[in-house]
Amino acid sequence: MYFSPEPKRRKEDFFNMEEELRMFQKILSLGKLIIVSGLRRYGKTSLILAAL
């Protein structure tokens, strides 16, 4: 559902975070620890789920 309060899980539903998705995947390829920080409801959980 588009306006669900739940995190997005699919890249197609997750907008305007292409650069962050690329960064997440790049950092994941380099090391074992990624810290995702940001304001509440900014899309942190969605970023992680979409990237994985």
**Would you tell me which residues interact with Mg ion (CB under 5 A)?**
44-45
Compute the distance between CA of residue 49 and CA of residue 9 in angstroms, rounded to an integer: 5
Compute the distance between CA of residue 46 and CA of residue 14 in angstroms, rounded to an integer: 7
Is the CB of 34 or the CB of 45 nearer to Mg ion?
Answer: 45
Compute the distance between CA of residue 30 and CA of residue 43 in angstroms, rounded to an integer: 23
Answer with the entry of Mg ion, ligand ATP, none that 29 interacts with (C-beta below 5 to 8 A by kind).
none
Is the CB of 5 or the CB of 31 nearer to ligand ATP?
Answer: 5
Is the CB of 43 or the CB of 51 nearer to ligand ATP?
Answer: 43
